[in-house]
Amino acid sequence: MISHASCRYAMLVCYLPPLPPHPFAGKSTPLSRLQLDRRLALLEPEDARDLATLEEIVHWEHIPLASTDENLALRARDALTRLRTPALREMLIWRLELRTLVGALRRRRLGLSAPTVKETWGWGGCLDSVRRHWERSDFNLGHRYPWLAVAERHLMQGEHTALENLLFTTVWEHYVRLAWKHHFDFEAVVLYVLRWHLLDRLTRYAPAAASQRFGELLAQGLGGQDRLFTAPSP
Amino acid sequence: MNEVDALTVGLAWAGIFAPLALGAFGSVIGCAIAGQAAIGAMLDVETGFARYIGVSVMPSSQTIYGIVATFTLNRTVTAETAGGLIGLGFLAGIVLAASAIWQGHCCASAIQATKVKPEMFGLSLAPAAVVEGFAVFIFVFLLVLSADIPQL
């Protein structure tokens, strides 16, 4: 009846500005990382540690590019032992499973064979089904992950932006669904931070600037050799 | 007075005080939850502070009902009155406490909703008002039924 834990962070949750209802609805994050960190200073030290543990695994900027699958699996296992609540562990496992499935789709598109039992390449309860149903478009997991068939179609047709948007929306909606069960507790704060990260990544995308940068890199890489491919003058 | 009588008398006195004690217990928790939400909201916005504070003290009404209920139940404790005092007092107290705590949750949600959409301030208070309504039912029926407990 007292439910102290469920309202532990009523102040912090109300201190955080609202996020947009959809990841593509916002042009920028409602607050900067600096402002967010200042507000997250209200977390208890052990909760702050849990959040940091989760962020280390979930956010790409914390993962070195040279990390191997084994390395990532070891880090995930270590993080799962350090997280104190089942709700946080479930959040992490769900995200790892999503990455595992997307990784499997990409692997299959490259024409590689199904991973072997001994191979460490992913995480979660989906590994066995992926291995056994490698030839099926949704690895026989369509009932659990309805987005999988759509993701596979985007990948096969080379629609990478659509795939990225689908994954963003899927993760965002999953977090929104979870947030309905958590109003003023620590999980509510964690879900806010996870959605903030998604929004931060999405709003930092600048297609025009990226295209210009790509052109510059291409010109730099080719040097003067791009003239080799120009049509000879008559 | 034998042991059973002593226990009954003790419980009857506790029953008299239960609406106030349990109502205040619930109000403490409810106001604390809603108050923390109000402070958080006030840190993030520039206007509407009075609204947030006003909403955050809504769960205090259960203590007021408890005071009136305890005064109403207060009478000489005898074998005839003990049963009624225990039953009415404890049940009313439990419901008052529960309604205060959950009203605190409703008020915190209303504060958060109002912060996002100020225009829905009135509507966001509806759940808290409904919870208050159940506390009022309990209070009114306690007043009605307590009239049947002999006043010696």
Instruction: Show the tokens assigned to B118.
Output: 């100020």
pLDDT value for A224: 61
Contact criterion met (CB < 8 Å) for A183 and B105: yes
Contact criterion met (CB < 8 Å) for A7 and B33: yes
Q: How many CB atoms lie within 10 A of CB A95?
A: 21
Please check whether residue A130 is in contact with residue A123, taking contact to mean a CB–CB distance below 8 angstroms. Answer: no
A23-50 per-position pLDDT tens digit: 888 788 999 999 999 999 999 999 999 9
pLDDT value for A171: 95
Contacts of A116 (CB under 8 A, 6+ apart): A131
Average the pLDDT over B120-147 and give the result: 96
CA dist., res. B53 & res. B60, Å (int) = 12
Residue B63 in domain: yes
pLDDT value for A233: 59
CA dist., res. A83 & res. A233, Å (int) = 67
Q: Looking at chain A, which residue has its C-alpha nearest residue B39? A: A11
Q: How many residues does chain A have?
A: 234
A78-98 per-position pLDDT tens digit: 999 999 999 999 999 999 999
CA-based nearest distance A16→chain B, Å: 7
- Which residues of chain A have a CB within 8 Å of the CB of B115? 14, 18
Q: Looking at chain B, which residue has its C-alpha nearest residue A5? A: B33
pLDDT value for A58: 86
Instruction: Show the tokens assigned to B64.
Output: 């007021």
Q: What is the mean pLDDT of chain A?
A: 86
Percent of chain A whose predicted confidence (pLDDT) is above 70: 92
Contact criterion met (CB < 8 Å) for B39 and A11: yes
The residue range of the domain holding B108 is 3-146
Residue A4 has pLDDT above 70, yes or no: no
Q: Looking at chain A, which residue has its C-alpha nearest residue B28? A: A2
Residue B114 in domain: yes
CA dist., res. A186 & res. A45, Å (int) = 12
CA dist., res. A60 & res. A62, Å (int) = 5
Residue spans per domain, chain A: 5-64+86-204
Residue B12 has pLDDT above 90, yes or no: yes
- Which residues of chain A have a CB within 8 Å of the CB of B98? 1
Q: What is the mean pLDDT of chain B?
A: 94
B145 falls in which pLDDT band (50, 70, 90)?
A: very high
* ipTM of the complex in this document: 0.83
CA dist., res. B100 & res. B27, Å (int) = 5
Contact criterion met (CB < 8 Å) for B40 and A14: yes
CA dist., res. A79 & res. A74, Å (int) = 9
Domain containing residue B134: CATH number: 1.20.120.610
Contacts of B142 (CB under 8 A, 6+ apart): B19, B69, B72, B73, B88, B92
Number of domains in chain B: 1
pLDDT value for A228: 60
CA dist., res. B71 & res. B67, Å (int) = 6
Q: What DSSP line would sit under A90-145, residue for residue?
A: HHHHHHHHHHHHHHHHHHHHTTPPPPPSS-----STTHHHHHHTTTSTTTT-TTT-
Higher pLDDT, B91 or A75: B91
Please check whether residue B82 is in contact with residue B8, taking contact to mean a CB–CB distance below 8 angstroms. Answer: yes
Which position has the token pair 């009588």? B5
B10 falls in which pLDDT band (50, 70, 90)?
A: very high
A232 falls in which pLDDT band (50, 70, 90)?
A: low
Average the pLDDT over A38-66 and give the result: 88
Residue B84 in domain: yes
Please check whether residue B40 is in contact with residue B52, taking contact to mean a CB–CB distance below 8 angstroms. Answer: no
Please check whether residue B60 is in contact with residue B31, taking contact to mean a CB–CB distance below 8 angstroms. Answer: yes
Residue A1 has pLDDT above 60, yes or no: no
- Which residues of chain A have a CB within 8 Å of the CB of B43? 15
Instruction: Determine contact: B129 vs chain A, CB below 8 A.
Output: no
CA-based nearest distance A228→chain B, Å: 59
Nearest C-alpha neighbor of A10 from the set B41, B103, B37: B37
